[in-house]
């Protein structure tokens, strides 16, 4: 095999291909990137039986062939190559890489042992890339990171004919957002769901953020449910998580008339400041009144802190105890200058009602997006 390729194009393609590879794998061969020549250039692939990434780039091919090299090593090399055309050539299992004054010799892993990537032909629908990327970053913060409960380590995608809704939860908060979805002439009025690992979806969101339109396919072959995202000659597939996502959407209240509106940045700053004296895992106390919002941290015996900021309260006074990181995750996700915190009623006297965080474009005007972040307060101690 022999080919020449543009250094930046190649480097970008390799970094895309290795991004989703696991840090450690039980099978060394899965840490490789497969490079195949095509009629117009190269195809780079990686696959660990759960997630696959594939991209095609232009290159000038002298002799066709296929090689399999260590992904991380190749990515490190590609990112440090001098600014010159890159030339690959092979001699038996030795791969020589020449770029300007630099020369590398790498060993190819056995290509024939590499698994076949899942092929997804049919298309289910189209997504606006920027809105999707935005929605993923807003929702995935609420996904659980605890592998003991695999179902909630995913983001639930729910497709109808015109909308895609994203839902994630870790049992302490729930984040939801809807975006536009173009299903073409296919009928999704029955609704289709796909539970995608949150980590994978976050990488997909970042990768395709500026790609215009993303094509999505959800398929079920050989009892393996797979979702594929494609744009810009790049495709990422992921196995879906099996299991039933908890029916968390019904936790959201229909209507809340008791709420407060704050400046988002001001509240974030204040939470970070006051939380400094808290012990790990401890909660901040938030008192909403006509005079504003008072944050109090009663931390250890050594240190305490409090601060009062502007807040526009609608309805009665309210005191809630919230874990600062959980609140900050929601505040960081509303992407709006102001934020509304609404207080839901509760039937259970032993458990405070959850608070709902939504965007607010001004003091009086709710935000235009559909993002909702529901957070369960702690018990009020003392």
Partner 1 sequence: MSKQDGSQRQVSAPTVDSSTSPILHVDLDAFFASVELLDRPELAAHPVVVAHDSPRSVVTAANYPARRFGVRSAMPLSQAKRLCPSAVVLEPHFEKYRHYSRQVMAIFDDMTPLVERLGIDEAFLDVSGAGRVLGSPGEIAQRIRERVRAETGLACSVGAASTKFVAKLASGRAKPDGLLVIPAAETLRFLHPLPVSALWGVGAATEKALERHALHTIGDIAASPRSALERSLGAALGAKLHDLANGIDHRQVTPERVEKSIGHEMTFSTDVRDDDQLRRELLRLSNRVGERLRRGGLEAGTVALKVRYADFTTISRSHRLATPSDLGRTIYTEARALLDALGEHPPVRLIGVRAEQLAAAGGAPLALWETEPGWRDAERTVDGVAQRFGLDSLRPASLLSSPRGERLRED
Task: List interacting residues with partner 1 (CB under 8 A).
Answer: 144-146, 148-149, 169-174, 246, 248, 251, 281-283, 323, 326, 351-352, 354, 374, 376-379, 381
CA dist list (Å): 216 to 57, 127, 130, 209, 232:
21, 7, 15, 14, 13
* Distance in angstroms (rounded) separating the CA atoms of residues 329 and 338: 15
Nearer to partner 1, 288 or 373 (CB): 373
Nearer to partner 1, 23 or 382 (CB): 382
* Distance in angstroms (rounded) separating the CA atoms of residues 344 and 119: 46
Nearer to partner 1, 129 or 295 (CB): 295
Closest approach of partner 1 to the CB of residue 374, in Å: 7
Q: Which of 323, 319, 326, 332 is nearest to 268 (CA)?
A: 332
CB 327 within 8 A of CB 375: yes
DSSP code per residue over 321-345: EE-HHHHHHHHHHS-SSEEEEEE--
Nearer to partner 1, 290 or 381 (CB): 381
Q: In 3-state terms, what secondary structure has residue 3?
A: strand
| Dihedral class, residue 209 (left if φ above 0, else alpha if ψ from -120 to 50, else beta) | alpha
Closest approach of partner 1 to the CB of residue 309, in Å: 23
Closest approach of partner 1 to the CB of residue 163, in Å: 24
DSSP code per residue over 71-113: HHHHHHHHHH--SS-EEEEEETTEEEEEETTEEEEEEPP-GGG
Nearer to partner 1, 60 or 325 (CB): 325
CB 209 within 8 A of CB 203: no
Q: How many CA atoms lie within 13 A of 288 on its CB side?
A: 23
Nearer to partner 1, 285 or 323 (CB): 323
Closest approach of partner 1 to the CB of residue 323, in Å: 5
Closest approach of partner 1 to the CB of residue 97, in Å: 40
Closest approach of partner 1 to the CB of residue 170, in Å: 7
Q: In 3-state terms, what secondary structure has residue 66?
A: strand
Closest approach of partner 1 to the CB of residue 156, in Å: 15
Nearer to partner 1, 168 or 261 (CB): 168
Nearer to partner 1, 99 or 176 (CB): 176
* Distance in angstroms (rounded) separating the CA atoms of residues 193 and 247: 12
Number of alpha helices (DSSP H) and beta strands (DSSP E) in the chain: 6, 26
Closest approach of partner 1 to the CB of residue 249, in Å: 12
SS3 string, 145-186, reads CCCCCHHHHEEEEEECCCEEEEEEECCCEEEEEEEECECCCC
Q: In 3-state terms, what secondary structure has residue 31?
A: helix
Nearer to partner 1, 368 or 381 (CB): 381
Q: Are strands 102-107 and 304-309 parallel, antiparallel or unpaired?
A: unpaired
Nearer to partner 1, 185 or 279 (CB): 279
Closest approach of partner 1 to the CB of residue 146, in Å: 4
Using the structure block, give the residue that is written with the tokens 């729910």. Answer: 158
Closest approach of partner 1 to the CB of residue 238, in Å: 23
């Amino acid at each position: 095999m022999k080919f020449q390729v543009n250094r930046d194009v190649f480097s970008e393609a390799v970094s895309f291909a290795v991004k989703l590879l696991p840090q450690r794998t039980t099978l060394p061969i899965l840490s490789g990137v497969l490079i195949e020549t095509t009629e117009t250039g190269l195809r780079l692939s990686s696959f660990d039986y759960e997630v696959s990434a594939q991209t095609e780039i232009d290159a000038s091919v002298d002799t066709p062939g296929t090689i399999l090299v260590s992904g991380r090593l190749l990515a490190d090399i590609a990112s440090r190559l001098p600014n010159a055309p890159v030339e690959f050539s092979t001699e038996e299992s030795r791969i020589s890489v020449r770029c300007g004054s630099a020369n590398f010799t790498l060993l190819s892993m056995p290509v024939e042992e590499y698994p076949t990537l899942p092929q997804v032909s049919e298309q289910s629908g189209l997504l606006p890339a920027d809105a999707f990327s935005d929605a993923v970053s807003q929702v995935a913060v609420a996904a659980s990171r605890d592998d003991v409960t695999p179902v909630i380590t995913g983001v639930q995608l729910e497709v109808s004919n015109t909308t895609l809704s994203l839902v994630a939860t870790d049992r302490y908060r729930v984040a939801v957002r809807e975006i536009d979805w173009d299903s073409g002439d296919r009928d999704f009025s029955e609704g289709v769901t796909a539970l995608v690992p949150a980590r994978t979806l976050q990488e997909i969101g970042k990768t395709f953020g500026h790609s215009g339109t993303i094509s999505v396919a959800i398929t079920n072959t050989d009892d393996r449910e797979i979702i594929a995202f494609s744009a810009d000659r790049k495709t990422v597939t992921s196995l879906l998580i099996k299991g039933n996502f908890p029916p968390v959407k019904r936790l959201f209240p229909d209507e809340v008339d008791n709420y407060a509106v704050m400046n988002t940045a001001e509240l974030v700053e204040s939470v970070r400041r006051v939380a400094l004296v808290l012990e790990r895992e401890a909660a901040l106390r938030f008192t909403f009144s006509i005079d504003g919002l008072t944050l109090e941290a009663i931390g250890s015996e050594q240190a305490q802190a409090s601060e009062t900021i502007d807040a526009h309260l609608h309805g009665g006074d309210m005191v809630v105890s919230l874990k600062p990181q959980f609140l900050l995750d929601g505040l960081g996700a509303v992407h709006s200058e102001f934020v509304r915190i609404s207080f839901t009623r509760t039937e259970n006297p032993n458990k405070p009602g959850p608070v709902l965080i939504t965007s607010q474009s001004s003091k009086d005007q709710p935000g235009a997006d559909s993002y909702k972040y529901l957070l369960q307060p702690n018990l009020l101690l003392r």
